[in-house]
Amino acid sequence: MLKLKRKPKTVEITSASMADIAFLLLIFFLVTTTIDVDKGIGLTLPDPRGEKKEIREKNITNLLVNEAGQVLLDLREIPVLQIKDVIAEKIRENPKLIVSVKTARNTPYNIYIAVLDQLKQANARKISLAEPDK
Amino acid sequence: MNIKKNKRGIPAISTSSMPDIVFLLIIFFMISSVFKEFRGMPIVLPAAKKIEKLRGKRDVGYMWVDRFDRIMIDDRIVNLDEISDIMYVKRADPLSPLRVVSLKIDEEVRMGIVTDVQEELKKADCLNISYATKTKD
């Protein structure tokens, strides 16, 4: 009778598919993650401890937004979408111009954002927020 | 002279380091990603064109105001007079002091409450704010 001698084998786990598994994980996480970037209109509020500055009348322009969403620029009513051009023109004339935005307590927030957006589009850097009258 | 002929075959690219590369990628993405911390409230953000991206998430604080004028910070509805205390603690956090406060305000909210919130933020020395908006096309 033939006697077979068994060689003790070392069992090995193949690592060839490791890359596939890792890639699968990577792709799964890449697909399932949603990257949402926070976007918005940035603004710096005035420091309440800072002293109040006196500003010359000619360097300030008043922008009033009422409850109905109508905009008054220097006592003249203009459509929201025209603010950009008018303010850009004013800033070109006077780079020191400060735009003072004043809203009423009942002004809709989306009108306010639309106005701020127009000012940002006109590259107005000096925006002042006037407190609404109580 | 015995010159061995060079065997010209296509040299195989070793794939043995592939898992290492992929794992490195996975670990990079795991470390660099930040999870959304708060659920927030169902709100409709206003849209704007000229918007800035908020860089980083770790030092941004979030506040929600929904159309019923409810204010929410960290998934908890708060009163107006609580805001300054809460935000001041966050602002003075030694590990990750707040840099920007992102205001997620519903477009149907009236300006009165927005101004009140801003006044409270001023008290808490949170002066950098950002009105969260959608992108308008």
Mean pLDDT of chain A: 81
Q: A4 pLDDT band (50/70/90 cuts)? A: low
The per-residue pLDDT for B3 is: 60
**Of residues B48, B72, B69, the one with CA closest to residue B111:** B69
Query: What are A12-25's pLDDT values in tens digits?
Result: 877 778 778 888 88
The per-residue pLDDT for B7 is: 62
The per-residue pLDDT for B2 is: 59
Stronger pLDDT, B128 or A132, i.e. the higher one: B128
With an 8 Å Cβ cutoff, is B132 touching chain A? Answer: yes
In chain A, what percentage of residues exceed pLDDT 70?
89
**pTM of the complete model beyond 0.95:** no
Query: What are B27-37's pLDDT values in tens digits?
Result: 888 887 777 66
**Residue numbers in A near B121 (CB within 8 A):** 45
Stronger pLDDT, A24 or A3, i.e. the higher one: A24
Using CB atoms, pick whichever of A26, A40, A103 lies closest to residue B131.
Answer: A40
Mean pLDDT across B37-41: 73
The amino acid that residue B133 corresponds to is: T
Query: What are A22-39's pLDDT values in tens digits?
Result: 888 888 888 887 777 778
Return the number of CB contacts < 8 Å for A and B: 140
The per-residue pLDDT for B21 is: 85
Residue carrying the six token digits 């107006």 = B80
What is the CB-side half-sphere exposure of residue B127 using CA atoms within 13 A? 9
Three-class secondary structure assignment of chain A: CCCCCCCCCCCCCCCCCHHHHHHHHHHHHHHHCCCCCCEEEEEECCCCCCCCCCCCHHHEEEEEECCCCCEEECCEEECHHHHHHHHHHHHHHCCCCEEEEEECCCCEHHHHHHHHHHHHHCCCCCEEEECCCC
Asked whether the beta carbons of B77 and B103 are under 8 A apart, the reply is: no
With an 8 Å Cβ cutoff, is A41 touching chain B? Answer: yes
Mean pLDDT of chain B: 82
Q: ipTM score of the complex? A: 0.72
Residue carrying the six token digits 């064109």 = B49
Mean pLDDT across A88-94: 86
Measured in whole angstroms, how far is the alpha carbon of residue B39 from the centre of its chain?
A: 12
Residue A25 backbone class (left: φ over 0; alpha: ψ -120 to 50; beta: rest): alpha
Q: B136 pLDDT band (50/70/90 cuts)? A: confident
Asked whether the beta carbons of A95 and A57 are under 8 A apart, the reply is: no
Mean pLDDT across B84-93: 85
Q: B119 pLDDT band (50/70/90 cuts)? A: confident
With an 8 Å Cβ cutoff, is B77 touching chain A? Answer: no
Whole-angstrom Cα distance, residue A132 to residue A101?
10
Q: B126 pLDDT band (50/70/90 cuts)? A: confident
**Residue numbers in A near B134 (CB within 8 A):** 39
Tokens coding B40: 């927030």
Q: A44 pLDDT band (50/70/90 cuts)? A: confident
**Residue numbers in B near A87 (CB within 8 A):** none
Does residue A51 surpass a pLDDT of 80? no
